[in-house]
Amino acid sequence: MYAGQNGLVEYTRGRDPRRLSEVLGELIPDAIVASRILAAARQMWFSILGQELGSHVKPVQVKNKALLVRADSSTAAAAFRIKSASLIAALRVECPGAVDEKFRVVVTVTNQPG
């Protein structure tokens, strides 16, 4: 038996078992996966972005394979976009299977600090 899309599936000849990281998105409800990605982003936020930039952009939500980020200025948003690839790379390591090549970051500017 192995974990498949519809729960436990009997292993039959010719069907290779898959790694847990490959089926994580199928096994765990989307809300739990999104919460895990958001928590990981918040935990590594300042170490990747630095104190100055990190205080001007905030991770808000994970939705539809995207981390939604709020920036308090267009300057902060532009600086964040430069660093976003490093953040996504770190999230891929922290959340394998959940953060894949389709995962992206969407930045909105609120023009309000905090």
CA distances in angstroms from 56 to 26, 27, 42, 81, listed in the order given: 35, 35, 13, 13
Class of domain 24-109: alpha beta
User: To which residue do tokens 């998105």 refer?
Assistant: 25
Q: Strands 2-4, 66-71: parallel, antiparallel or unpaired by DSSP?
A: unpaired
- Domain ranges for the chain: 24-109
Residue 48 has pLDDT above 80, yes or no: yes
Question: Is 25 or 72 the better-scoring residue by pLDDT?
Answer: 72
pLDDT at residue 30, rounded to an integer: 78
Do residues 77 and 107 touch, judged by C-beta distance below 8 A? yes
Q: Quick one: average pLDDT of 16-30?
A: 70
Residue 61 has pLDDT above 70, yes or no: yes
